[in-house]
A and B are shown apart, each in its own frame.
Chain A
Amino acid sequence: MASTAAVPFWRAAGMTYITYSNICASLVRGCLKEPYKSEAASREKVHFAVSKWANGKPEKPTIRSDSPDE
């Protein structure tokens, strides 16, 4: 069982289950043939802006765009 052995490794790398499953999902999507592949890729677009707040003030927002995995 390869998956069993892998668990501690991605956990140790500081990944959450969400990141791990996303990487797996994008790998599976990568296995598709065209035109399904680009169609699935369009569902992978990421765009949002996060800003942390400290002492009631927002910090400069960081924009996460089109980076499904770190």
Chain B
Amino acid sequence: MAMAALRREGRRFLLSSASSTPITARSAISSEESCLFGARSISTQIVRNRMKSVRNIQKITKAMKMVAASKLRGVQTKTENSRGLWQPFVALLGDGLRGDLITIVGVDVKKNVVITVSSDKGLCGGINSTSVKVSKALTRVYSGPEKETKYVVLGEKGKAQLVRDSKNSIELTISELQKNPLNYTQVAVLADDILKNVEFDALRIVFNKFHSVVSFPPTVSTVLSPEVVEKESEAGGRLGDLDLYEIEGGETKSEVLQNLSEFQFSCVLFNAVLENGCSELGARMSAMDSSSKNAGEMLDRLTLTYNRTRQASITTELIEIISGASALEG
């Protein structure tokens, strides 16, 4: 684009200089990017400005990549440790639904609440649109007569995408979660708020599970409400094994199940938020890496154009001088 502008500018200058009055020449290229008055060369100012801006962008993206990389290291350890929190629950209550769409449909409930975990900030590749897409797909899977699906959205970016076509089913949005480093207390308070404000039979938490810096597949984990868990455990199956455990204290089974499912929710949510935060940083890292690479390539091309134009103008000047001198001699 800069090239084209440059060429245009040059042609105009040539045309106007043909009339050979300096005033008209100046008015023809009255824009600020033009060259100095009376100069014969094509203006390189535009290219120089563009080079400067591209260089600045590259600096910024490089810095963002560094920041993401250093943050990632801390969050990754935290995330890996937090996996130990939900694993016992899967063993006991049998999530078994992680990522497997067929078994999710197996537990059929009326009120589904999809919790979409996304990030507050952008510039992190496609992780937010992935979780939004999966949430929408889940909504379609669960839709049916006498059923309703609501959204609880974590993070600004997911909210912005879901508002467009399903704003009527958004129940709750949460943002600014990552202002401080993520911790369990925070997520627990959040989980508490969700439990108190939303009615549900099953919570489906959608997030990007962190596998490596370049791979974060969208994942669904399910938390059933205590009533549903109780019904399931009476029906037998995996949840029926709960009776094999010896439970201390005088609580009834429903109380135990209620406590368990509440605690399971906060643990799973904690893990989900951490995994998503980790994936966000990883995605941002690779996105920023490729954008600084692109900026570098662009800069190379611009430098080439710039040097070529400069060289051309020098050559033209030389030719003019030499031919002038030989005309005097001859």
- Taking Cβ atoms with an 8 Å cutoff, the residues of A that contact B are 1, 3-4, 7, 11, 16-19, 21-22, 25-26, 43-53, 55-58, 61, 63-64, 67-68
| Shortest distance from the beta carbon of A46 to any chain B beta carbon, whole Å | 5
Asked if B262 contacts A52 (CB within 8 A), the reply is no
Asked if B171 contacts A53 (CB within 8 A), the reply is yes
* 0/1 interface trace, chain B 171-192, chain A, CB 8 Å (1 if under): 1111111011001111011111
> How many residues from B make CB contacts under 8 Å with A?
36
A-B CB proximity, top 7 nearest? A4-B249, A56-B167, A17-B259, A17-B262, A56-B168, A53-B170, A45-B180
* 0/1 interface trace, chain B 257-292, chain A, CB 8 Å (1 if under): 011001101100000000000000000000000000
Residues from chain B with Cβ under 8 Å of A48 in the complex: 174-177, 179, 186, 190
Q: Closest residue to B193 on the A side, CB-wise?
A: A50
| Shortest distance from the beta carbon of A15 to any chain B beta carbon, whole Å | 9
CA distance A64 to B180 in the complex (A): 13
Give 16 new A-B contacts, CB below 8 A, not counting A19-B188, A21-B188, A22-B188. A4-B251, A7-B255, A17-B259, A18-B195, A21-B263, A22-B192, A45-B180, A46-B189, A47-B186, A50-B174, A51-B172, A53-B170, A53-B171, A55-B168, A57-B167, A63-B176
Q: Assuming the A-B contacts A16-B195, A18-B266, A47-B186, are A52 and B251 also in contact, with contact meaning beta carbons closer than 8 angstroms in the complex?
A: no
Instruction: Show 29 residue pairs from A and B whose CB-CB distance is below 8 angstroms, ordered by the A residue.
Output: A4-B251, A16-B192, A17-B259, A18-B188, A18-B195, A18-B262, A18-B265, A18-B266, A19-B188, A21-B188, A21-B263, A25-B185, A43-B183, A43-B184, A45-B180, A46-B180, A46-B185, A48-B186, A50-B190, A50-B193, A51-B172, A56-B167, A56-B170, A57-B167, A58-B173, A61-B173, A61-B175, A64-B190, A67-B189
Residues from chain B with Cβ under 8 Å of A57 in the complex: 167
Asked if A45 contacts B186 (CB within 8 A), the reply is yes
Which listed residue, B172, B183, B195, touches A44 by the CB 8 Å rule?
B183
Residues from chain A with Cβ under 8 Å of B171 in the complex: 52-53
Main SS class of interface, A: mixed
Residues from chain B with Cβ under 8 Å of A64 in the complex: 189-190, 193
- Taking Cβ atoms with an 8 Å cutoff, the residues of B that contact A are 167-168, 170-177, 179-180, 183-186, 188-193, 195-197, 248-251, 255, 258-259, 262-263, 265-266
CA distance A51 to B250 in the complex (A): 39
CA distance A45 to B243 in the complex (A): 38
Residues from chain A with Cβ under 8 Å of B179 in the complex: 47-48
